[in-house]
Amino acid sequence: MSQIAGLILAAGKGTRMKSDLPKALFRVCGVPMVDLVGRAMRGVGIQRPTVVVGHKGQMLIDGLPNGYDFEWQTEQLGTGHAVLMAAERYRAFEGTILVVPGDVPLLSSDCLRQLIDHHTSSQSLCTVATMKFADPTGYGRIVRDLNERVTEIVEEKDATPEQRSIQEVNSGVYCFDSKTLFATLPQLSSQNAQGEYYLTDVVKLIASTGGVVETCVFADHDLLRGVNDRWQLAEAAHSLRMRMLRQLCLDGVTVVDPATTFIDVDVEVGAETVIHPMTTLTSGTRIGEGCEIGPNALIDKSAVGNFTSVNMSRVNEAIIGSNCKVGPFAHIRPGANIGDHVKIGNFVEIKKSDIADRAAVSHLTYIGDSSIGEGSNIGAGTITCNYDGFAKHRTEIGANAFIGSNSTLVAPLVIGNNVMVAAGSVITKDVPAEALALGRSKQENKEGWVPHWRKRKTSATVSQ
């Protein structure tokens, strides 16, 4: 195959988004639209796509991962002008340039592969990806001569009423022969309804000099759907989500209700896992096999092992092992690292802590900046007091410790293996292994005190 380079146009304002964020940075299923386009390009072997940036360009550059080159278009004078900004970069390049707008997030590598194959096999100078719409409003129309050869693309605003009735439209995704493209661009004029240098006019110039222009018609309109406003953004996200959920189902995951299951790009879920309604899994989340996730689970950039259940809980940048039970109503925060066979029960918050295998933190507890050893049981209402108003301190609890209910563990603190802490204790000093720690006032019983007290009270009331 001849050489191929990829150019993504993302300098425009995106006025209809009504936002300070550049349009191409809006996320669809957790990933900026322009990066989804870039990923599709990588799928056809374009390792470093070039992005043309302009409006809020630095924000776009900062918002993208590594793996892109950038060209600046400081004034947005049209799509043709945007491509021209990359002329210097491709001066010596011979081959195919794939040009894609930064706002087609559903584009797939398969779709690009088809376009490139058509372009290569037809040996054309330009191949346009087109679609046929019953209502083509807003798109450039593909104009053909009597022999069905493409003669030009006419923008809606410049089209005659007759041209407006053409249903075949330009998706904005093209393959160009690089040399021809950059030789033609300087000839563009901005004498049109929008006063812009249209990339689409390159087609007319190529066709008028006898060059071959091909189209590749895509029946699946979704793939080339452009996002210009926030409703289209929501529609695109819905569409991509359904595509990913379908794939998960085909791979052996049960998705009980796709309509209320929200997953991002870059989410992995193992076979035989059941995802219950109202569950959100964000980019970077990995769920193992045979898990029960949800209902009402939010798992954000976290890893969950096999056969674990996470019910009505929020997990954020954390690791949870296998065969664990989490929730309902648990809050697992960044830096929590939970082993296997662990129970994290209702109204438990865990932050930046290691919880070893077979430990249980079953009710109403806060564990922060701590480590809990294997098999330890943390009673209801236990609080690690990790913050003194100035700094955070650690609590270390050994293996097989038993922390009685409603204990207050004032960090820094080390509690050894096999320790028992009496319920209701306030522990401020380290506890050696095997010890019982009592940190509460001693109980005193005054026998027969209550009837005397009642009698005194009653006679006082009567005599009033």
Footprint on this chain of ligand UD1 (rule: CB under 6 A): 9-12, 52, 73, 76-79, 81-82, 101-103, 139-140, 153, 155, 169-172, 198-200, 226
Cα separation, 403 vs 407, in Å, equals 7
Nearer to ligand UD1, 154 or 399 (CB): 154
Closest approach of ligand UD1 to the CB of residue 215, in Å: 13
Cα separation, 273 vs 269, in Å, equals 7
**Sequence-ordered list of residues with C-beta below 8 angstroms from that of 290, at least 6 positions apart, any chain:** 270, 271, 272, 273, 306, 307
Nearer to Mg ion, 173 or 413 (CB): 173
Closest approach of ligand UD1 to the CB of residue 147, in Å: 22
Residue 171 near which of ligand UD1, Mg ion, none (CB within 5-8 Å, type-dependent): ligand UD1
- Contact between 234 and 270 under an 8 Å Cβ cutoff? The reply is no
Q: How far apart are the first and last CA of the chain?
A: 107
Among the options 221, 363, 393, 452, which is catalytic? Answer: 363
Closest approach of ligand UD1 to the CB of residue 71, in Å: 10
Confirm or reject binding of residue 57 to Mg ion (CB under 5 A): no
Closest approach of ligand UD1 to the CB of residue 234, in Å: 18
User: Which residue of this chain has its Cβ atom nearest to ligand UD1 in the complex?
Assistant: 140
Residue 404 near which of Mg ion, ligand UD1, none (CB within 5-8 Å, type-dependent): none
Closest approach of Mg ion to the CB of residue 226, in Å: 5
- Contact between 228 and 103 under an 8 Å Cβ cutoff? The reply is yes
How do beta strands 254-255 and 274-275 pair? parallel
Nearer to ligand UD1, 138 or 252 (CB): 138
Cα separation, 46 vs 3, in Å, equals 9
Mark out the alpha helices in 185-296 (DSSP H runs).
201-208, 230-250
Nearer to Mg ion, 80 or 226 (CB): 226
Question: Using CB under 5 A, which of the segments 32-40, 224-232, 303-311, 399-407 binds Mg ion?
Answer: 224-232
Residue 102 near which of Mg ion, ligand UD1, none (CB within 5-8 Å, type-dependent): ligand UD1
Residues 115, 266, 174: CA angle, nearest 5 degrees = 15
* Six-digit token string for 52: 């043309």
Residue 78 near which of Mg ion, ligand UD1, none (CB within 5-8 Å, type-dependent): ligand UD1
Residue 79 near which of ligand UD1, Mg ion, none (CB within 5-8 Å, type-dependent): ligand UD1
Residue 198 near which of ligand UD1, Mg ion, none (CB within 5-8 Å, type-dependent): ligand UD1
DSSP3 helix / strand / coil % (the chain, rounded to 5): 25, 30, 45
User: Does the active-site annotation cover 276?
Assistant: no
Selected from 6, 226, 305, 398, the binder of Mg ion by CB under 5 A is: 226
Residue 300 near which of ligand UD1, Mg ion, none (CB within 5-8 Å, type-dependent): none
- Classify residue 424 by burial, with Cβ atoms within 10 Å: 0-12, 13-18, 19+: middle
- Contact between 379 and 393 under an 8 Å Cβ cutoff? The reply is no
Nearer to ligand UD1, 84 or 320 (CB): 84
Closest approach of ligand UD1 to the CB of residue 141, in Å: 8
Closest approach of Mg ion to the CB of residue 239, in Å: 17
# of chain residues touching Mg ion (CB under 5 A): 1
Closest C-alpha to 99, from 155, 85, 88 = 85
- Contact between 325 and 341 under an 8 Å Cβ cutoff? The reply is no
Match 């809050």 to its residue by tokens.
331
Nearer to ligand UD1, 71 or 354 (CB): 71
- b/e 236-252 (16+ beta carbons within 10 angstroms → b): bbebbbeebbeebeeee
Nearer to ligand UD1, 5 or 10 (CB): 10
Cα separation, 150 vs 205, in Å, equals 11
Phi first, then psi: what are they for 202, rounded to 5°? -60, -35
Active site residues: 363
Question: Which residues contact Mg ion by CB under 5 A?
Answer: 226
